[in-house]
Amino acid sequence: MRKVTLVRGARQLLTLHGPVGARRGADLRNLGIIPDGAVLIVDGHIEDVGSSRRVENLALARQANEIDATGRVVMPGLVDSHTHLVSGPARVQDFEMLLAGASPREIAHGGGGTRAIARTISELSPRALEAQVRSLVEDAVRHGTTTLEAKSGFGFTDKGEIKILRVHAAIGREFPIISTFLNGRTIGNNGSQTGHFVDWVCSRMLPFLKQRRLAEFVDTRCEDGGFNLDQATRYLNAARQLGFGLKVHAGPRSHPGAVHVAVKTGATSIDNLLSVTREDVALLGQSRTIATLLPGPSFFLDLDNYPPARLLIDGGAAVAIASGYSPESCPSLNMQMMVALACRKMRMTPAEALSAATINSAHALGRGQQTGSIEKGKSADLVIFTVPDYREIPYHFGVNLIDVVLQRGNVLVERSEIKWPAN
């Protein structure tokens, strides 16, 4: 028997209907709004979209379970296209040192930092790690996220990285997680040693991951402490030949030329850009590579600069927004907050920020044909906000405005009403 659901009466239905591919320029501000809109869902996929009056009168709608969205905003589920979910518990001691002005090196010398995270991952059982990640995913869903990317990178050894990727696979059986193998943290400081590592990861590690289907994308740190430009290019080309999707991790210490490597190798996205040249902007504006921007780490680490969204958008580049979740740099999976930061600190309009956090973030994961907008045939990943106008989503920063979350047509979150005691 078919499962039919009707979401009706939305004051603003943000369909994000638009051109094929990631949105750029003026298209980034076009949310495809339908006043008093409705969505008909059949067996987890969107069957029809339009005005409530028209959709309610369809034959299928008459047998549907109804969700009343009267006076509220309905839009695609948020897509978080850059996280490090398997990274252990909160780093509260590191946080106190950070507040006191300690540098990353001082935090590491104090027993914290990335190597402490790697030790934790090594010590915890897969079941314990799965429990932690499941809790994080639940928190993300409560805030309206319906699709997540998760990177490895904190394993430091092949055994540790495989352990992380297997946790991704276990959680992915319950929730749509796109798994990414991020290398670069196991590299030594000696140039020849690094060269041997590149040879090994290309000839051994990548084929193993492909055979076991443990990762859909590969990512590389094209920055100090990671691969240089030639090594990154060789690694990404080897991964592409095996059929992996490609990503490039830039970061605050990225090499000049990292954008060129991403575009040249056909990377789906280049993540964590904090500074760009005019040449970088021109390259991204003419390519299909998406700039995934992470406002969360800039906020948490109290950095002076935020990702250059305005420069990239005005230059024709496609931009996405993600949380960049990590216990050391952004312990938050609240994509509503990331949208608010993008508006306040990156000079994006509310419409641009929501497009970047939905359809463009979906394209940054190779999922733009399945999710990220409310269109016939796509997965019914929807969120209903308690507000009547989409511009209130970034306006009420730090507040969870979610009322209902649907993932593949299933209600995952439904806010219960507060019942005040009788006098």
Q: What is the mean pLDDT of residues 334-350?
A: 98
Same domain, yes or no: 391 and 346:
no
pLDDT reported for residue 381 = 98
Same domain, yes or no: 384 and 250:
no
pLDDT reported for residue 134 = 96
Same domain, yes or no: 23 and 86:
no
- Give 182's pLDDT tier (boundaries 50, 70, 90): very high
- Which CATH number is 97's domain given? 3.20.20.140
Strand order in the sheet with 177-183: 78-80, 145-151, 177-183, 217-221, 245-249, 269-271, 290-293, 319-321
pLDDT reported for residue 205 = 94
Q: Does residue 421 lie within any of the structural domains? A: no
Q: At 251, list the tokens.
A: 């970061």
pLDDT reported for residue 185 = 53
User: SS3 of 96, please?
Assistant: helix
Q: What is the mean pLDDT of residues 332-336?
A: 98
How does pLDDT run across 46-73, given as a tens digit for each residue? 999 999 999 999 999 999 999 999 999 9
Name beta bridge partners: 220. Answer: 183, 248
Domain boundary among 363, 380, 404: 363
Same domain, yes or no: 65 and 112:
no
Spatial neighbors of 164 by CB under 8 A, at least 6 apart, are 86, 121, 129, 152, 153, 154, 155
Spatial neighbors of 60 by CB under 8 A, at least 6 apart, are 4, 40, 42, 47, 48
User: SS3 of 326, please?
Assistant: strand
Over the chain, what is the mean pLDDT?
Answer: 93
Q: At 258, list the tokens.
A: 């990292």
How does pLDDT run across 269-285, given as a tens digit for each residue? 999 999 999 999 999 99
Please tell me the distance from the alpha carbon of residue 406 to that of residue 242, in angstroms, as a whole number.
35
Q: Does residue 266 lie within any of the structural domains? A: yes
Q: 403, 408, 346, 308: which is closest to 72 by C-alpha?
A: 403
Same domain, yes or no: 230 and 145:
yes
Same domain, yes or no: 60 and 115:
no
Please answer whether residues 154 and 117 qualify as being in contact, where contact means their C-beta atoms are separated by less than 8 angstroms. yes
How does pLDDT run across 102-129, given as a tens digit for each residue? 888 898 888 888 888 889 999 999 999 9
Same domain, yes or no: 113 and 179:
yes
Please answer whether residues 31 and 351 qualify as being in contact, where contact means their C-beta atoms are separated by less than 8 angstroms. yes
Q: Does residue 420 lie within any of the structural domains? A: no
- Give 382's pLDDT tier (boundaries 50, 70, 90): very high
Same domain, yes or no: 73 and 106:
no
**Which residues constitute the domain of residue 406?**
4-77+372-414
Please answer whether residues 16 and 75 qualify as being in contact, where contact means their C-beta atoms are separated by less than 8 angstroms. yes
Going from the C-alpha of 174 to that of each of 147, 168, 209, 246, 396, the distances in angstroms are: 12, 10, 21, 25, 31
pLDDT reported for residue 423 = 67
Q: Does residue 57 lie within any of the structural domains? A: yes
**How many domains does the chain divide into?**
2
pLDDT reported for residue 196 = 80
- Which CATH number is 403's domain given? 2.30.40.10
Please answer whether residues 268 and 291 qualify as being in contact, where contact means their C-beta atoms are separated by less than 8 angstroms. no
Same domain, yes or no: 339 and 390:
no
Please tell me the distance from the alpha carbon of residue 85 to that of residue 88, in angstroms, as a whole number.
8
pLDDT reported for residue 108 = 87
Q: Give the count of beta carbons closer than 10 Å to the beta carbon of residue 57.
A: 10
- Give 223's pLDDT tier (boundaries 50, 70, 90): confident
Q: Is the pLDDT of residue 422 over 70?
A: yes
How does pLDDT run across 72-83, given as a tens digit for each residue? 999 999 999 999
Same domain, yes or no: 24 and 161:
no
Q: How far is CA 358 from the centre of its chain?
A: 9
| HEC profile of 329-352 | CECCCCHHHHHHHHHHHHCCCHHH
Q: Does residue 250 lie within any of the structural domains? A: yes
Q: Does residue 313 lie within any of the structural domains? A: yes
Q: Does residue 255 lie within any of the structural domains? A: yes
| Greatest mean pLDDT among 1-5, 229-233, 400-404 | 400-404
Q: Is the pLDDT of residue 187 over 70?
A: no
Kindly state the DSSP code that residue 323 receives in the 8-state scheme: -
Please answer whether residues 61 and 36 qualify as being in contact, where contact means their C-beta atoms are separated by less than 8 angstroms. no
Same domain, yes or no: 49 and 141:
no
- Give 194's pLDDT tier (boundaries 50, 70, 90): low
Same domain, yes or no: 386 and 316:
no
Percent over 90 (pLDDT), the chain: 80
Q: Does residue 422 lie within any of the structural domains? A: no
